[in-house]
Amino acid sequence: SGEMAKLPPLLDNEAFRAYATYATIVLLKMMLMSLVTAYFRITRKAFANPEDTASFGKAENAKKYLRTDPDVERVRRGHLNDLENIVPFLGIGLLYALSGPELSTALLHFRIFAGARTLHTFAYLIPLPQPSRGLSWAVGYSVTISMAYKVLKTALYL
């Protein structure tokens, strides 16, 4: 369409399309954590806000559902860990995709990151014995460092 023509051909570039695909996938995976949290809050009846427990009846009765639950807290830690690791991937990955990487190298970075973060979520939620979670975290972290190195090598302007 005419609209498309005015855009820079970012999405014609295969490395950028790969970035768009994997960035969207890991963000959707992160968004899923909100639904998992809601699921555990409802099934465990463990809420953070008085207004969330109003449907359980009178104030005195509802108050006991204002509590923390180990399963809810576990999902929330996994969600926060996603934020801490997916935000750097989003920012550094975007710049990396714009730095002219080899397509195969870029795909390798994006695929490993998405795989490692998916494993991290399973390791956190099941939970799997350590060092499953630690290793999957470290793999995603290392991929981001590797992309940051390429960005700084290509773009450095202090």
> Strand, helix or coil at 12?
helix
Q: What character string, x for contact with a second copy (CB under 8 A) and - otherwise, covers 74-113?
A: x--x-xx--xxxxxx-xxx-xx--xxxxxx----------
Q: Please choose, from the candidates 104, 150, 119, 98, the residue with its C-alpha nearest in 3D space to the C-alpha of residue 29.
A: 119
Cis before residue 127, ω within 30 degrees of 0?
yes
Among 18, 62, 72, 116, binds a second copy (CB under 8 A): 18
> Strand, helix or coil at 156?
coil
Spatial distance between the Cα atoms of 57 and 65, rounded to a whole number of angstroms: 11
> Strand, helix or coil at 47?
strand
Report the nearest approach of a second copy to the CB of residue 134 (Å): 8
Among 42, 48, 57, 63, binds a second copy (CB under 8 A): 48
Which residues are near a second copy by CB under 8 A?
Answer: 1, 3-4, 6-18, 20-21, 23-24, 27-28, 30-31, 33-34, 48-49, 51-52, 54-55, 74, 77, 79-80, 83-88, 90-92, 94-95, 98-103, 127-130, 133, 137, 141, 144-145, 148, 151-152, 154-158
